[in-house]
């Protein structure tokens, strides 16, 4: 599933301080391999370079 800016998502990354939190897609950047990486904004900060498989739709 692909995400777009302003989509609500839940981050699943046990190494992130935002693991399990709901946030908003702030930016979508395509890697040189054509895969999307996301910047996700949370109430207390943001996480950059998040791969698609670490996100789940919150809607």
- Kindly state whether residue 53 falls inside one of the protein's structural domains: yes
* pLDDT 10s digits, 20-47: 999 999 999 999 999 999 999 999 999 9
Exposure string over 7-40, b if 16+ CB within 10 A, otherwise e: bebbbebeeeebeebebbbeeeeeeeeeebebbb
Q: How many domains does the chain have?
A: 1
Question: What is residue 21's predicted lDDT score, i.e. its pLDDT?
Answer: 98
Question: What is residue 17's predicted lDDT score, i.e. its pLDDT?
Answer: 97
Question: What is residue 54's predicted lDDT score, i.e. its pLDDT?
Answer: 97
- Kindly state whether residue 2 falls inside one of the protein's structural domains: no
Q: What is the C-alpha radius of gyration for the chain, rounded to an integer number of angstroms? A: 10
For 4-12, what is the mean pLDDT?
98
**Residue 11 pairs with which residues in a beta bridge?**
55
- Kindly state whether residue 3 falls inside one of the protein's structural domains: no
Give the number of residues written for the chain. 59
Task: Read off the pLDDT band of 3 (50, 70, 90).
Answer: very high
């Amino acid at each position: 599933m692909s995400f777009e800016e302003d989509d609500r998502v839940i981050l699943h990354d046990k190494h992130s301080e935002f693991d399990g939190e709901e946030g908003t897609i702030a930016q979508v950047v395509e890697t040189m391999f054509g895969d999307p990486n996301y910047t996700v904004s949370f109430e207390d900060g943001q996480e950059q370079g998040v791969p698609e498989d670490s996100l789940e739709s919150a809607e």
